[in-house]
Each structure stands twice: as structure tokens, then as C-alpha cells.
Structure 1
Amino acid sequence: MLNHKKLTPYLYLGPCIVMLLVFVYIPIIRNIEYSLFEWSVFSPEKTFVGFKNFTTLFQDAVFYTALKNNLLYAVISVIFQVGGGLIVAAMLEDKLVRRISPLFRTMFFLPVIISITVIALLFDFFYNPQVGLLNKFLIEIGLENYTRAWLGETGTAIYAVIAVSQWQSIGYIMMLYIVAMQKIPTELYEAADIDGASKIQQFFSVTVPQVKEMTFVVTLVTVTQAFTVFNEPYILTGGGPGNSSQVLGTYLYHNAFSRDAMGYAAAIATVVLVITMLISLVQIKLFKTGKEE
């Protein structure tokens, strides 16, 4: 006789496990398999080449440019999205602004629900060297020497692209931190206040340690998104000028659908998977998440 009480949890988990297998783990395994072949999307024939795609990739200068841009994307995103979201959340949870904080939460969160395609097109106009608002603003305040074609110069294109994500995503991180901060016992702040701690000291000694788990989550999500970003660079620059704003996602797309080098594109996808997994493991070790102090 089957023990229904022991079987019930597996029945609930079953659909989730099936979906993970079908949409996550099997595609990962198949992608790794495809990376060992040279093949075209227009031909059923596949030529086994072993690790040739990977050795070619690690000698590809454009790959290292894309990887550097993704690393830059990750560092800037952690500083502005995670750091900025934490600071904004702490300000909105302060007693002095708590009454009007719902208004500011809505204002900061609104960009998150807007399509990234719409935002990218908006910023394409914003950066326009002739009629764009950014150059117009610089001219109005007497800084016309700093005007430039932001998306058309190799020195500024990647930074202009990265700025779009920071503007859109900081509200999402802020909301996650607000949820975490609302669970912090008020007694901790009262004790710190009695000890004469200032607001800044309370922030570093009470708030930051208490939201450590949330910091791990948002940092992991932010870094993972930074290494899988595609929409913003593709819409704004297409990886150009030259390859100055190329990221791994756009380079993968270029090889798959422009060069029809599907095996090479699969190798890039495999490398992205390995990088994100390694970064996740490092973050788990650094944050020591889930462990009691």
C-alpha cells in the first residue's frame, strides 16, 4: 500500500520538476552538446569538432571586449542599483518621510513596469547628438564642450547603454529592500538611538547587517542580469560603434543569426552559463547566506 501522506509532497513538486527539466535543464544539456559541433540552422548536418569552438572563442578579441563590457556592466549595476536601491529604501523608511513614502515608492517603481524596448527607444532620442535632451541640457548650462554623439563614439557608447538599466531597475531593488527593512525589529533602532547613534551610524550598524540576505539576492539577480543583458545594447547600438559596446548577449546573437555559426554561438552561451554559476558560488561564499551568525 502506498503511503499517501509521503506521496502528496511529490505530487505538488512534480509539475515544477517537469517544467524545470523541460525548460531549463534539458536545454542547458542540449546547448552544451551543440557547442561541440559546427552546424547551420539551414542544414540538418552537424560536424563534430570537439572543443574547437571554445579554443577559437578564447582567442577571439571581440569575445574579450564583450566580456569586459559585461564585467563593467555588472560592477556599475551593483554600485548604482544595489547601493542606490538600499540608500533610497532607507530614506523612504525613515520616520520623517514614512507618511509620504508611498508616493515616492510609486514614482521610483514606475520605470520598472515600462517595457525596456520603449525605454531604449526613449533614450535613443535622449542621446541624439542633434536634438537630444542631454546635449541640449549641457548647452543650456554652459557645458557645450561636453556634448557629443553619446551612442556613436567608442569611448561613451557602453556607458550610455549601461545608464539606461540603472535608471530603470533601481526602483525594483528599492522595493525589495523596503520589504526587508519593514521586518527589522524597531527595538534595534531604539537601542541604537539610546546609545547615541546617528542616522548614518544606525544605517551601517543596524540596517545593512539586517538586510544581508536581501543584499545577497539582489546582488545575485543584478550580476546575473548584467551578464545576460541583450535588449539595451542591441536596440541602442547593436554592439557598435565597431565592437565597443558589444556584450556577450549581442555577440551570441550576431554569431547565431548573422554569421549562422550556431555551434560557436552555443559555445558563447555555455561560457555565459559557467561564468554566472561561478559568480553565484563566489557570492554565496562571500555573503555566507543562510548561515546563522
Structure 2
Amino acid sequence: MNSYQSARAALPYIVPALLLVLIFVFLPVCFNLYYSMFRWNAFEINRVYVGLEYYVRLFSDPVFYIALKNNVIYAVISILFQVGGGLVLAAVLEDKVIRRWQTLFRTIFFIPSVISIAVVGLMWQLLYNPDIGLINGALRAIGQNEWAHAWLADSKTAIYAVVAVSQWQFTGYMTMLFLIAMHKIPGELYEASMIDGANRIQTFFHITIPQIKEMILVGTMITVIGAFRVFDEVYVMTFGGPGRSTEVMGTMLYRAAFRNDEMGYASAIATIIFVVTLSLSLLQMKLAKSGQED
């Protein structure tokens, strides 16, 4: 069977998936771009064509740049802790001494990622409470009263307090992904490195990371896309406050669509989110390919 016949044989299995992607991914994106050029709301049939007015308004809105900056902060910190920290945790759990307890640690690290984000947000609101919260209580208990703070009420610390919650919740998930990839690395590679006198740090950088670079790329893409699509944590804990200091593009979109009933403006924000996430994903894939040998 030649390649043409193989492609024809596979076509009946590929077409249904392509149709689903077309209907539920590409068509909504196109419709969203179309609707972003109209002034309309959820309670009227008529739409007024405004062209690029909403995009001009968006790029001239200072809140948009606050939201974009917060999403970038979210992405950078998430890459450091979820990808970098998850990679280190996975390597530690693969150590021969700790491997016997790996099942226990895997369960402990993975549990936060399966808890509802709404529940997590409410729980951390209590932990951050300036009067009865466990965090300030612990600081006062060790005599560091000056460190006690209204974490979510201060515009300088609120965004970092919210970002920290996501790191607690999803670093364990990334650790599990890296562990799965590490389990597929042939043990002979580690044995050969030990014979050559490599220490654990050298083995980690020269064997582990190169062998799981595809999973690292996938994990980074998931993390970055998630950082620019973040909504739930911010909505539950601060809803963009205080003073819009924790506003992200997701809450900005929600506010425009469901608080102000400006569906066209919300569609413009959604289009920008799509363009940013798509661009970052393509950039990451290009950077990953640039490091491959021909």
C-alpha cells in the first residue's frame, strides 16, 4: 500500500475529528472576530457595525495594560514554579532514596489540582484574612508582627497573593507530567553516566532534561496558555480589585460582557486573548525546533 492509499484509508477516521475541531474551535473564533466589529448586547437583535472601534478603545484603555501586565506576571511566575519547580520536584521524587515513598508524595502533590478552583479561592481567602488568617497568625506566632499584612487588600501584594495560589494548586500536576516522562528514560543512560563519574546535578542537566524536553515544552505551553486564560482564581478572590490592581484579561472580558453588557467589546478582548496565546504557542514551538539537530 503506497502513501496515497494509506492517506485514503485514514481519511474516514480523520474527517470526524476535523469536523469537530472546525465546528467547535475554528468557527467560534471566526464568529467572535466578526462580532467584535459590531456594537450589540445580549438583549437586542440589531447590531451596529463599528469596525475596529473596540480595538482602538481597548488599546487606549489603561486597564488593558494593567491586565496584560498581570497576565505576564502570572505566566513568568508560573513557568518558574510550575515548570521549573515541578521539574525539580520530579527529579527529587525519582531519587532512589525517596522513590519508595513516591506514591505517597505523588498523591499529596496531585490532590490540590483536583480541588475545585472556587473552593481553593475561598480557602485561601480565609488563609489571607488579616485578622483570623493562618498566614498572619503564623507570622505573629513567630514574632514577625511587622510582616503580617492585608495581602488581598493591598494593591501592591494582591496580584502576587493570587498568583501564589495557582502555584500551590498546579505545581503538583506538572510534577506528575514530568514523572511520567522520566519513567520512560532508559535506565542504561543513568548507569552509563554513573560509570563515567557524573554526579546527580550533571545527570539531571545532561540526561534528564534532554530526554524529556518534549514534555517540558508541553508543560510550558499549558502553563503559559493557562496564565493568559486565568479567570476563576481572580474572580473568586478579588474580582480584579483592589482598584483593578489584580485585573486580568479574563476578568476584564467578563466585566465587559456580563456586567456592562458590551458584547462587542468583550468579543474584541477575547480576540486579543486568542491572538496572544496563539502567538506565544507558535513562538514556543519554533524555539523548541530551533534547538533540534538536523
Scaled by the length of structure 1, the TM-score of the pair is 0.96
Partner of 1:66 in structure 2? 67
Partner of 2:260 in structure 1? 259
Q: Decide which moves more: 95-104 or 271-280.
A: 95-104
Q: Which amino acid aligns with 1:230?
A: F
Alignment of 1:39-188 (within 5 A): 39-188=40-189
RMSD (Å), alpha carbons: 1.6
Per-residue deviation at 1:89? 0.5
Partner of 2:26 in structure 1? 25
Q: Does the 8 Å CA contact 1:213/1:289 hold for their aligned counterparts?
A: no
Per-residue deviation at 1:11? 2.3
Per-residue deviation at 1:146? 1.1
Q: Which amino acid aligns with 2:141?
A: E
Counterparts of 1:72 and 1:110, CA distance in 2: 25
Please list the CA deviations of residues 175-217 of structure 1 after superposition, one character each: whole Å capped at 9, or x if unmatched: 1101111111112211211221111111111111111111100
Please list the CA deviations of residues 16-43 of structure 1 after superposition, one character each: whole Å capped at 9, or x if unmatched: 2222122111110000001111111111
Partner of 1:270 in structure 2? 271
Please list the CA deviations of residues 117-153 of structure 1 after superposition, one character each: whole Å capped at 9, or x if unmatched: 1111110111111111011011001111011111111
Please list the CA deviations of residues 208-233 of structure 1 after superposition, one character each: whole Å capped at 9, or x if unmatched: 11111111000000000000000000
Partner of 2:202 in structure 1? 201
Work out the number of aligned pairs and report it. 291
Per-residue deviation at 1:5? 7.3
Q: Does the 8 Å CA contact 1:213/1:290 hold for their aligned counterparts?
A: no
Partner of 1:35 in structure 2? 36
Q: Which amino acid aligns with 1:33?
A: Y
Q: Which amino acid aligns with 2:67?
A: A
Counterparts of 2:94 and 2:18, CA distance in 1: 39
Inter-CA distance 200–5: structure 2 relative to 1 (3 Å threshold): closer
Partner of 1:233 in structure 2? 234
Per-residue deviation at 1:97? 1.4
- Three-state SS of the structure 2 residue aligned to 1:226 is helix
Inter-CA distance 204–108: structure 2 relative to 1 (3 Å threshold): same
Please list the CA deviations of residues 32-66 of structure 1 after superposition, one character each: whole Å capped at 9, or x if unmatched: 00111111111111111111110111100000000
Alignment of 1:212-227 (within 5 A): 212-227=213-228
Q: Decide which moves more: 54-63 or 96-105.
A: 96-105
Counterparts of 2:199 and 2:18, CA distance in 1: 49
- Three-state SS of the structure 2 residue aligned to 1:96 is helix
